[in-house]
């Protein structure tokens, strides 16, 4: 056991504590109002997120997973339809497709950004393709301009999975404003994290936004008259109140993440760790990266040993994601060949996510880098 304090993967309490009084005040107002669903905080948050994402419409819902599901429901996706999606993503990007009886068609990723490859999307399009779900992974937009161009040429709607990318942009245009629908998550670890679950849908198209709201509210309009079979997916008023407090400091949180990422890159470069064995994150010059994750690649089959070494030294890390979706037990029935997505498989074997959150300190980052350095000082010798 070590007497040096450990470095956590993230520390939600530390990030939230400066706003404690504001949170309590905002929640107290909701309690006193007696309105726990809908109300001013929900409608104002929708307006604020729409403005932040530079779209006309925003519709709140219960989670990022529901946002994705609602987007596909509103598009009428069902059995026989194909939806193109990366396999190197979180489960919810794919389960929304299979839950509606449609078939996910997996597109491989680019080795540099880990984001879905537009060429792979184009190659996967068939007459049955009814939607494309690019995922803006780790806080960096996929090549959404090209993806929307390809989709537009085939008249296929784009649903952006921007769960990890609120505030990110491509060619200065925000994540969630490119496709027909943008999907956001307020899960506590996301860049705009609530104190529970929450989600938001954005759309530049008023008719689409109206359909999303219809599906999120039991398909009911007017009351007790059901036009379509929707679901019940609402953002609690208390969550909206908390999120409005946090939204005010989101630009500062992104600024902190940007500085932390730049510092990791500088430290790893200056300690001669960056190179063939440890590949630094690639920033697409057209992207404004919001660094939900700082994802490095550890090659040569050393990733898991390094991660164990870090854990033994009190430094947390994570693997997003160890098992690609096409290799998940629940998707075995799709019979996707492992070899058909080589970059996805390689990323799942090599990716390592370092601690990053707005209040991570420079001293903690030094410990992270020193611990990695300690591993390679012994490990590389062993390999030689």
The binder of ligand PLP chosen from 177, 185, 313, 344 (CB under 6 A): 185
Q: Where are the alpha helices (DSSP H) in the chain?
A: 12-16, 20-33, 40-52, 64-74, 92-99, 118-124, 144-153, 206-216, 237-248, 250-270, 303-312, 342-350, 362-383
Instruction: Give the 3-state secondary structure of residue 81.
Output: coil
**DSSP letter string over 347-382?**
HHHHEEEEP--TT--HHHHHHHHHHHHHHHHHHHHH
d(CA 2, CA 245): 37
d(CA 319, CA 233): 30
| Candidate ranges 4-12, 87-95, 240-248, 332-340; the one touching ligand PLP (CB under 6 A) | 87-95
Least distance to ligand PLP, CB of residue 86, Å:
9
Least distance to ligand PLP, CB of residue 137, Å:
7
Q: How many residues bind ligand PLP (CB under 6 A)?
A: 15
Please say whether the beta carbons of 209 and 59 come within 8 A. yes
Please say whether the beta carbons of 40 and 202 come within 8 A. no
Three-point CA angle 186, 191, 192, nearest 5°: 45
Residue list 24-63, contact with ligand PLP (CB under 6 A)? 63
| Candidate ranges 25-33, 41-49, 157-165, 337-345; the one touching ligand PLP (CB under 6 A) | 157-165
Least distance to ligand PLP, CB of residue 22, Å:
23
64 binds ligand PLP (CB under 6 A): yes
Least distance to ligand PLP, CB of residue 185, Å:
3
348 binds ligand PLP (CB under 6 A): no
Least distance to ligand PLP, CB of residue 159, Å:
11
Cross-strand bridge partners of residue 135: 161
Residue 79, C-beta contacts closer than 8 angstroms, at least 6 positions apart: 100, 101, 102
Least distance to ligand PLP, CB of residue 92, Å:
4
Phi, psi of 145 (to 5 degrees): -65, -50
CB closer to ligand PLP, 90 vs 106: 90
Question: Measuring CA to CA, how many Å separate 257 from each of 11, 112, 199?
Answer: 13, 20, 22
Q: Buried (b) or exposed (e) across 56-91, using 16+ Cβ within 10 A?
A: ebbbbbbbbbbbbbbbbbbbebeeebbbbbbbbbbe
State how beta strands 294-298 and 351-354 pair: antiparallel
The binder of ligand PLP chosen from 88, 138, 178, 187 (CB under 6 A): 187
The binder of ligand PLP chosen from 97, 120, 135, 181 (CB under 6 A): 135
The binder of ligand PLP chosen from 199, 230, 324, 358 (CB under 6 A): 199
95 binds ligand PLP (CB under 6 A): no
| Candidate ranges 5-13, 84-92, 303-311, 359-367; the one touching ligand PLP (CB under 6 A) | 84-92
DSSP 122: H
365 binds ligand PLP (CB under 6 A): no
d(CA 262, CA 128): 43
The binder of ligand PLP chosen from 161, 236, 343, 364 (CB under 6 A): 161
236 binds ligand PLP (CB under 6 A): no
Least distance to ligand PLP, CB of residue 168, Å:
12
81 binds ligand PLP (CB under 6 A): no
Least distance to ligand PLP, CB of residue 260, Å:
19
Summarize as ranges the residues that interact with ligand PLP (CB under 6 A).
63-65, 89-90, 92-93, 135, 161, 163-164, 185, 187, 197, 199
């Amino acid at each position: 056991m070590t007497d040096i304090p450990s470095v956590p993967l993230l520390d939600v309490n530390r990030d939230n504590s400066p706003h404690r009084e504001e949170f309590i005040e905002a929640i107290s107002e909701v309690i006193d109002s007696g309105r726990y669903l809908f109300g001013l905080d929900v409608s104002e948050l929708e307006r604020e997120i729409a403005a932040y994402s530079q779209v006309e419409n925003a519709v709140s819902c219960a989670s990022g997973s529901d946002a994705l599901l609602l987007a596909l429901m509103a598009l009428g996706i069902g059995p026989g339809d194909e939806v193109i999606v990366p396999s190197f993503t979180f489960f919810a990007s794919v389960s929304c497709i299979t839950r509606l009886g449609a078939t996910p068609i997996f597109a491989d990723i680019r080795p540099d950004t880990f984001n879905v490859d537009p060429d792979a999307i184009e190659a996967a399009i068939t007459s049955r393709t009814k939607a494309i779900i690019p995922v803006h992974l780790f806080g960096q937009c996929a090549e959404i301009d090209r993806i929307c161009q390809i989709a537009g040429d085939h008249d296929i709607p784009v649903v952006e999975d921007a769960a990890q990318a609120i505030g990110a942009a491509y060619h200065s245009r925000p994540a969630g404003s490119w496709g027909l629908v943008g999907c956001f998550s307020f899960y506590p670890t996301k860049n705009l994290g609530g104190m529970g679950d929450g989600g938001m849908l954005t759309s530049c198209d008023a008719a689409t936004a109206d359909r999303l709201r219809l599906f999120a509210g039991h398909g009911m309009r007017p009351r007790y008259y059901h036009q379509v079979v929707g679901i019940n997916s609402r953002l609690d008023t208390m969550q909206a109140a908390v999120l409005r407090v946090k939204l005010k400091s989101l630009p500062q949180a992104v600024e902190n993440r940007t500085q932390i990422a730049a510092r990791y890159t500088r430290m790893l470069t200056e300690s001669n760790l960056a190179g063939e064995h440890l590949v630094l994150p690639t920033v697409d010059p057209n992207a404004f990266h919001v660094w939900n994750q700082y994802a490095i690649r550890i090659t040569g089959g050393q990733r898991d040993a390094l991660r164990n070494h870090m854990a033994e030294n009190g430094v947390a890390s994570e693997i997003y994601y160890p098992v690609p979706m096409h290799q998940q037990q629940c998707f075995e029935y799709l019979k996707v060949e492992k070899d058909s997505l080589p970059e996805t498989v390689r990323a799942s074997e090599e990716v390592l996510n370092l601690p990053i959150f707005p209040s991570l300190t420079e001293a903690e980052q030094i410990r992270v880098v020193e611990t990695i350095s300690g591993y390679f000082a012994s490990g590389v010798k062993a390999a030689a």
